[in-house]
């Protein structure tokens, strides 16, 4: 029998039972892809990450990331959570101040910054690939039906558009906090009209009305194709969210080209999450996309496998 050790974290929160849950398996190199997928389905968290030695010795770790239904090329909360765990438990040597790491994911090398102060990990940031803007979606009535809203609830001043920094999400602007709080996602409409198009399978809905004064936007994310009915914190969508907000002037311009954004998410699920986003855009276009936050380790466990090779 093989015993697999894992840690359980809450990511994008400073308190237990907030943020997004994450299981981090420490010995992923011995597992097949099929077994990793079975484990992720068994735990049924938004994402499960498996750590293994990096291909490049100069990098820190290799990550493979799974939802209950699929492997992801890149994801935010598993990257932030795994880096926090590695630093917090001294599994990778971490100095006081700023630590620059590189983690390997299916999308490529991901730059990560770990901030340590007084022996504690205060924040982890990851740099995401530069944004790619995809097609716009013009059937407002169909989107409204999907979300059980009226067309008037959607913000007509901004487009419904797919944006990606590794994983594509369809961004849907909503006028008010009252409207976004009442969303009832209709799986039947999604299955019929959205599920077969990669550009529209994952829905990210936001409004500039927020519950917390320090927040910039209030967000919700629905991804049935990933096996996630609703996600309490979506790092992979937060980078492209920031790019969308900047590209379409949803937020005010700044003189130096550096935009700082905070997305609040998961409040409707009882798991408040706060994701910090930094966007750098100059006259030459987007130069940098970063997301960041902190995490809390809430437990650890073991999984028993009769045969880890299958």
Instruction: Answer yes or no: are the C-beta atoms of 7 and 300 closer than 8 Å.
Output: yes
Q: Which sign does the torsion angle of CA 245, 246, 252, 257 carry?
A: positive
pLDDT, residue 253, reads 79
Dist. CA 10–CA 206, nearest whole Å = 22
Considering only CA atoms, which of 222, 212, 240 is closest in space to residue 131?
A: 240
pLDDT, residue 252, reads 87
Q: pLDDT digits over 227-252, tens only?
A: 899 999 999 999 999 999 999 999 98
Using CB atoms within 10 Å of the CB of residue 290, give its burial: 0 to 12 exposed, 13 to 18 middle, 19+ buried.
Answer: buried
Instruction: Answer yes or no: are the C-beta atoms of 78 and 37 closer than 8 Å.
Output: no
Helix-helix angle 76-88:235-247, to 10 degrees: 120
Q: Which two tokens stand for residue 189?
A: 């409409």
Q: pLDDT digits over 189-226, tens only?
A: 999 999 999 999 999 999 999 999 999 999 999 999 99
Considering only CA atoms, which of 166, 171, 168, 101 is closest in space to residue 130?
A: 166
Which DSSP string do the residues of 206-252 spell out, in sequence order? EES--SSTT-SEEEEEEEGGGTEEEES--HHHHHHHHHHHHHTTSS-
Percent of the chain with pLDDT over 90: 94
Q: pLDDT digits over 131-172, tens only?
A: 999 999 999 999 999 999 999 999 999 999 999 999 999 999
Dist. CA 264–CA 35, nearest whole Å = 34
The pairing of strands 217-223 and 228-231 is antiparallel
Q: Rounded to an integer, what is the distance from CA 210 to the centroid of its chain?
A: 19
Q: Which two tokens stand for residue 81?
A: 């959570």
Phi and psi, residue 248, nearest 5°: -100, 15
Instruction: Tell me which residues are annotated as active site.
Output: 47
- pLDDT band for position 307 (cuts 50, 70, 90): low
| pLDDT surpasses 80 at 6 | yes
| pLDDT surpasses 70 at 5 | yes
Q: pLDDT digits over 8-31, tens only?
A: 999 999 999 999 999 999 999 989
Considering only CA atoms, which of 208, 204, 260, 245 is closest in space to residue 228?
A: 204
Q: pLDDT digits over 269-296, tens only?
A: 999 999 999 999 999 999 999 999 999 9
Phi and psi, residue 230, nearest 5°: -150, 145
Instruction: Answer yes or no: are the C-beta atoms of 238 and 76 closer than 8 Å.
Output: yes
Stated as kind and residue range, the H or E segment containing 39 is helix 33-43
* Residues near 237 by beta carbon (within 8 Å), at least 6 away in sequence: 76, 167, 169, 202, 204, 219, 221
Strands (DSSP E) found in the chain:
2-11, 20-25, 47-52, 61-66, 71-72, 97-105, 108-117, 120-128, 132-136, 161-164, 168-173, 203-207, 217-223, 228-231, 258-265, 273-282, 285-293, 295-305
Mean pLDDT confidence for 35-59: 96
57-96: burial string, b at 16+ Cβ within 10 Å, e else:
eeebbbbbbbbbeeebebbbbbbbbbbbbbbbeeeeebee
Task: Look up the CATH number of domain 132-289.
Answer: 3.10.310.10
CATH homologous superfamily for 2-128+294-305?
A: Diaminopimelate Epimerase; Chain A, domain 1 (3.10.310.10)
Task: Check if 2-128+294-305 and 132-289 are the same fold.
Answer: yes
Dist. CA 83–CA 94, nearest whole Å = 11
What are the sequence ranges of the domains in the chain?
A: 2-128+294-305, 132-289
């Amino acid at each position: 029998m093989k015993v697999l050790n894992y840690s359980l974290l809450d990511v994008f929160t400073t308190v237990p039972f907030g943020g997004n849950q994450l299981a981090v398996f420490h010995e992923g190199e011995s597992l097949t892809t099929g077994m990793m997928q079975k484990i992720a389905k068994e735990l049924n968290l938004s994402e499960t990450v498996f750590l293994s030695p990096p291909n490049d010795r100069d990098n820190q770790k290799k990550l493979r990331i799974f939802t209950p239904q699929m492997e992801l090329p890149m994801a935010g909360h598993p990257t932030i959570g795994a880096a926090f765990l590695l630093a917090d438990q001294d599994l990778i040597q971490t100095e006081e101040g700023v630590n620059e790491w590189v983690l390997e994911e299916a999308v490529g090398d991901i730059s990560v910054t770990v901030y340590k102060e007084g022996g504690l990990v205060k924040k982890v940031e990851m740099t995401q690939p530069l944004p790619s803007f995809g097609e716009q979606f013009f059937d407002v009535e169909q989107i409204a039906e999907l979300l059980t809203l009226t067309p008037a609830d959607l913000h007509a001043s901004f487009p419904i558009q797919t944006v990606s920094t590794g994983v594509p999400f369809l961004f849907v602007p909503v006028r008010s906090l009252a409207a976004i709080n009442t969303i009832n996602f209709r799986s039947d409409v999604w299955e019929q009209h959205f599920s077969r198009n990669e550009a529209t399978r994952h829905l990210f809905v936001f409004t500039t009305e927020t519950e917390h004064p320090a927040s910039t936007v209030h967000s919700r994310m629905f991804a049935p194709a990933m096996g996630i009915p609703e996600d309490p914190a979506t790092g992979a969508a937060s980078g492209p969210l920031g790019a969308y907000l900047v590209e379409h002037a949803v937020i005010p311009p700044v003189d130096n080209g550096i935009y700082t954004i905070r997305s609040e998410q998961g409040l409707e699920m009882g798991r408040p999450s706060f994701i910090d986003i930094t966007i750098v855009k100059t006259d030459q276009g987007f130069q940098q996309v970063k997301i960041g936050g902190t995490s809390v380790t809430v437990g650890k466990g073991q999984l028993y496998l009769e045969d880890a090779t299958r």
